[in-house]
Structure 1
Amino acid sequence: MININHLNFGYQKNQLVLNNLNLRIKPGHIYGLLGRNGAGKSSLLHNICGLLFPLSGSCDVAGQNPAQRSPEFLQQVYLLPEEIYLPNVSIKNYLSIYAPFYPAFDHDMFYRFLTEFEIPQENKLQRMSYGQKKKVLISFALATQAKVLLMDEPTNGLDIPSKKQFRKIIAGVIKDDQLIIISTHQVKDLDSLIDYVMILEDQQIILNQPVENITDKLAFKQVMNLDDVASPIYSEGALKGYAVVAINHKKENSRLDMEMFFNAVLTEKQQVLSQFN
């Protein structure tokens, strides 16, 4: 559904943020986009939705060029930005203004998510807290039923119960012809949600793997002594011993620790990436 070939992007031609970036993304999945601060995650999302344009290369989203910003394209792509702004109107008026842009918008779905998020429907948006506004926009984004849903730090501003509810809602809405990309530093919020991990580093996507492939190649475990682990790649001190990422020679079943995995990739990049070549 998304095919990016040799994309170059920068705010100045001699200072590229994305350099010769190649990416293939399939529908039916929830992708986690990880990277350091300033790595270009938001720039990549903005190129995908047509708010920024590549200097060279191609970006094809659902068979269309985002830079052309055709109505057919814009109806099928929704970006939830990290920094949000909502006008001083009621939720009902907000829907009357913006929902018509999305032909598949589901009002019942929207109000169901508001109820699950415990959002009062009669309040004006500007009277809500930042977290409440974020929940309104998350509900709106999902109700558009856009084929490509891009979320930039969606869990910022959400309390712990709301993050749990966010994961539950997202996991229940993805369809076979949709894809969701979530860019975040709050990786603990996504461990049980995403099924593909993408890492943006050195101006390129250096890894794009399904979770099941990561846990097949690598084992994530807690040990008291590092000598007890065969082929460790990365370790961190924990309350009881060490948290370890190791080569999964014995094909053990373990649960992905995305924060550990991301740190392992940054610290021992060649050794980790060689497992997936």
Structure 2
Amino acid sequence: MIEVNNITFSYPGTRRNIFRDFSLTLNKNNIYGLLGKNGTGKSTLLYLLSGMLRANRGEIKINGVDARIRRPDVMSEIFMVPEEFDLPPVSLDTYVKTNSKFYPRFNNEVLANCLKDFELSLSINLNELSMGQKKKVFMSFALAAGTSLLLMDEPTNGLDIPSKSQFRRVMANNMSDDRILIISTHQVHDVESLLDHILILSESNMMLNASTSEICKNYRFEFRSPSEMDNSVIYAEPTLQGNAVIAGREAGSPETQINLELLFNAVVKGIIR
């Protein structure tokens, strides 16, 4: 469990509080989607959860331990995949042998499965890879590390269309029940089929904190022609396919897949809370 208790945070030299008296609880066996406009603190929250940034006030507890302490046993349960990173000019095999020892539950079988799905091998040299390939390697290592908390910041940036499909398959096949995964992203359509829970952040406030099952229980996401627009429509946007609609879901009606972009816009405009 992760507990964020009344934290306040601002970057040194600035007066603006990214977070003020902000609280949040996250539970294991969930894939969270963290959404928000630029500057709302998505990446900052990930760095605070990882212990790489410290709140000015309040506390963050990872399984009951203050994240600021950065105890080795706590750090071995956290893995952060930032949006941008560098890898050393060594073979992947060397990188794994050097770094896997920091993670007690590192699983070489998981690594091999991830690399296979990403069409990569353990013998590749990291300095010869494109940025997209480096992301695949780093995400494979992150999943193999077996940490109870996995944080990913814009993981699909730099991936081509086939690679995004590979990413979804790799994530779905290698999540464990005792893990919390938080994906911060603007590329909502890349991850919407993976998520168990949606968090929408705005100016230090959580505008939406709801499970996907709860959202699907209450709303339908579909396309409608102008003649099909009725009082059940809660929010709509015109598209080339007709109106993209969020409507109230009636008891017994079939469940629909969430349109995250549509949901995000409806929440930001205050129509859904």
TM-score (norm 2): 0.95
Alignment correspondent of 1:23: 24
Q: 1:64 to 1:226 in 2, by over 3 A?
A: farther
Q: Give the equivalent residue in structure 2 for 1:266.
A: 268
Structure 2 Cα separation of the partners of residues 90 and 21 of structure 1: 42
What's the offset of the Cα at 1:190? 1.0
Deviations 1:246-268, CA, capped at 9 Å, x for gaps: 2335563222101110011112x
2:137 corresponds to which residue? 136
- The worse-fitting range, judged by mean Cα deviation, of 221-230 and 192-201 is 221-230
Question: Where do 1:140-155 residues align within 5 Å?
Answer: 140-155=141-156
SS where residue 123 of structure 1 aligns?
A: coil
**Partners of 1:188 and 1:40 in 2: CA distance:** 21
Shift of 1:233: 2.6
Q: Which residue of 2 aligns with 1:254?
A: 256
Alpha-carbon contact 2:35-2:200 (below 8 Å) kept: yes
Following superposition, the deviation at residue 115 of structure 1 comes to 1.6
Q: What TM-score results when the alignment is normalised by the length of structure 1? A: 0.93
Aligned with 2:17: secondary structure? strand
| 1:11 maps onto 2:23 in alignment | no
Shift of residue 231, structure 1, vs aligned partner? 3.7
Name the amino acid aligned to 2:266.
Answer: A
Residues 19 and 249 of structure 1, relative CA distance in 2, 3 Å threshold = farther
Q: Equivalent residue for 2:99?
A: 98
Residue 222 of structure 1, CA deviation: 0.7
Give the superposition deviation at 1:53.
Answer: 0.3
- Contact 2:91-2:125 within 8 A present in 1 as well: yes
User: Unpaired segments of 5 or more residues in structure 1?
Assistant: none
Counterpart of 1:179 in structure 2 is 180
Distance 1:3 1:257 in 2: 29
Q: Does the CA-based 8 Å contact 1:226-1:242 persist in structure 2?
A: no
1:226–1:38: structure 2 CA closer, same or farther, 3 Å change rule? Answer: farther
Equivalent residue for 1:215?
216
Partner residue in 2 for 1:236 = 237
Q: Which one-letter code corresponds to 2:145 in the other structure? A: T
* Cα distance in 2 between the residues matched to 1:201 and 1:226: 35
* Residues matched between the structures, number: 271
